[in-house]
Amino acid sequence: MATINANFLKLKAGYLFPEIARRVRAYSEANPAQASRIIRCGIGDVTEPLPAAAVEAMRAGVEELGRRETFKGYGPEQGYEFLRQAIVEHQFAGLGISADEVFISDGSKCDTGNILDIFGQGNIIAITDPVYPVYVDTNVMAGNTGDADAKGTYAGLLYLPCHPANGFVAAVPNEHADLIYLCFPNNPTGAVASRAQLEAWVAYAREHDAILLFDAAYEAFIQDPAIPHSIFEIEGAHECAIEFRSFSKNGGFTGVRCGYVIIPKSVTGSDGMGGRVPLNQLWSRRHSTKFNGASYPVQKAAAAIFSEAGKAQVAGLIDHYMGNAKLLREACTAAGLSVFGGVDAPYVWVACPAGLSSWDMFDKMLSEAQVVITPGSGFGSAGEGFFRISAFNSRSNVEEVCRRLLALLG
Ligand code: MLT
């Protein structure tokens, strides 16, 4: 008899975004006349076409694969040197990162989940609340938690609540943690961490011999020049941090799939017997066994993001989405709501009108305005009473969302 991984039975009914899609489908079937009016600002999925430089490079990559003289089979599991090198030069110049500390993948969602493969059991895991649900669910699947309570809070995780009073940036805890997930700019709250706040986290990690799992998927949206884009801008991070990056949101690669992980060779973990093992080695070994590399045309397209033309096209995309975020912030403020985020991040985080829970607000926006938002409680119990609006949309859709928001609440 094949038994199952019983940890999966601890998971809440459905992953947040499929659950939202299910509710939207049910509404559309019950209200066919309204279905075509629905505007989706729930999942943070890009809407604008790929940068032309990436399309051109991907096309050239496919052409190469179609000719005997330039055909390629399996590539290096860790990624092609040309892309690893381009990342170092264009994203980590002067930060002491080398190409063999960059691991190319098919996206950050997979990386932030898969990273648990290289860590042992019994680690104390700290996560912020609200949080990107992947961090929690993958720890549940890996057996790093107990059961969830009625609010969906899992026994065994150290939750770090984020709220307006701390600017949605968790302070270092008094308790010990071994692995800490940080995401800046933050999904879902749109908060960013200052240099001083990141320095405090690096100091904590070094004092506790802990590892920071730093998700910087949204770094390209930072507008404030004082905000660090990488944890490796902080002294000491090369001994205690792993960083996750993605081409999804800056390059519009959500459907193309490409991301990367930075693991400096100086980051080590305990073997439980008094020895230390470089995590870079373990991740490389894991990649070789479980992954055959992102596809060649995709890596060509990713490298083209760093060409002069690619950089200008990406800057245009960022401006577009941040322009949307500004409009959404203004509309929510004009509607009398308390608004957070959306300044250095493509997510606007909003307090629900008095008396409405996150899912009440989701239902109200869907049934009365045909706008899909994300209920804050889907990101953790501290997200209750908030909702998230994604700025990833066309300008005309965002303008229409603003009109409907004001008509509904203004
Ligand atoms: C989100 O909406 O939170 C993101 O699209 C999720 C993701 O990038 O996986």
109 lines ligand 1 (CB under 6 A): yes
317 inside domain: yes
7 inside domain: no
Q: Is the per-residue pLDDT at 146 higher than 80?
A: yes
Q: Is the per-residue pLDDT at 203 higher than 70?
A: yes
Distance 409 CA to ligand 1 centre (A): 27
Q: Are 147 and 254 in contact (CB under 8 A)?
A: no
320 inside domain: yes
158 lines ligand 1 (CB under 6 A): no
Q: Please tell me whether residues 106 and 208 are part of one structural domain.
A: yes
DSSP code string of 170-238: PPPPSS--SEEEEESS-TTT-----HHHHHHHHHHHHHHT-EEEEE-TTGGG---TTS-SSGGGSTTGG
For the chain, what is the mean pLDDT?
A: 97
335 lines ligand 1 (CB under 6 A): no
Q: Please tell me whether residues 185 and 37 are part of one structural domain.
A: no
Q: Please tell me whether residues 298 and 320 are part of one structural domain.
A: no
Per-residue tokens: 166 = 């701390």
Residue 262 confidence class, pLDDT cut points 50, 70, 90: very high
Classify residue 28 by its DSSP letter: H
Q: Please tell me whether residues 88 and 182 are part of one structural domain.
A: yes
Give the domain CATH number at 100. Answer: 3.40.640.10
Task: Read off φ and ψ for residue 130, nearest 5 degrees.
Answer: -70, 160
Give the domain CATH number at 330. Answer: 3.90.1150.10
Q: Average pLDDT for residues 300-314, to the nearest whole number?
A: 98
Q: Please tell me whether residues 139 and 271 are part of one structural domain.
A: yes
124 lines ligand 1 (CB under 6 A): no
CA distances from 171 to 129, 139, 308 (A): 12, 22, 39
Q: Average pLDDT for residues 82-104, to the nearest whole number?
A: 98
Q: In a mutational test of the pocket of ligand 1, which residue from 16, 17, 109 has the highest number of ligand atoms less than 8 Å from its CB?
A: 17
Q: Please tell me whether residues 93 and 231 are part of one structural domain.
A: yes
Q: Is the per-residue pLDDT at 25 higher than 70?
A: yes
State the pLDDT at residue 151.
Answer: 84
**pLDDT for 30-64, tens place per residue?**
999 999 999 999 999 999 999 999 999 999 999 99
Residue 152 confidence class, pLDDT cut points 50, 70, 90: confident
Domain hosting 115: range is 54-308
State the pLDDT at residue 165.
Answer: 97
Q: Is the per-residue pLDDT at 307 higher than 90?
A: yes
State the pLDDT at residue 13.
Answer: 67
Q: Please tell me whether residues 97 and 154 are part of one structural domain.
A: yes
Q: Please tell me whether residues 42 and 182 are part of one structural domain.
A: no
Q: Please tell me whether residues 139 and 204 are part of one structural domain.
A: yes
Which of these, 207, 191, 59, 205, lies nearest to 130 by C-alpha position?
191
Q: Is the per-residue pLDDT at 372 higher than 90?
A: yes
Q: Please tell me whether residues 233 and 87 are part of one structural domain.
A: yes
Residue 19 confidence class, pLDDT cut points 50, 70, 90: confident
Number of independent structural domains in the chain: 2
Indicate the residue among 267, 287, 308 that finishes a domain.
308
State the pLDDT at residue 289.
Answer: 97
Distance 45 CA to ligand 1 centre (A): 7
Q: Is the per-residue pLDDT at 195 higher than 80?
A: yes
Q: Please tell me whether residues 225 and 353 are part of one structural domain.
A: no
Q: Please tell me whether residues 65 and 32 are part of one structural domain.
A: no
**One-letter amino acid for residue 254 of the chain:** T
Indicate the residue among 255, 280, 308 that finishes a domain.
308
Distance 73 CA to ligand 1 centre (A): 31
CA distances from 379 to 131, 189, 351, 384 (A): 5, 10, 14, 8
Distance 36 CA to ligand 1 centre (A): 24
346 lines ligand 1 (CB under 6 A): no
CA distance 296 to 74: 9
Q: Is the per-residue pLDDT at 15 higher than 90?
A: no
Classify residue 299 by its DSSP letter: H
State the pLDDT at residue 247.
Answer: 98
**pLDDT for 264-300, tens place per residue?**
999 999 999 999 999 999 999 999 999 999 999 999 9
State the pLDDT at residue 18.
Answer: 84
383 inside domain: yes
Indicate the residue among 308, 337, 358 that finishes a domain.
308
6 inside domain: no
Q: Are 41 and 372 in contact (CB under 8 A)?
A: yes
Distance 44 CA to ligand 1 centre (A): 5
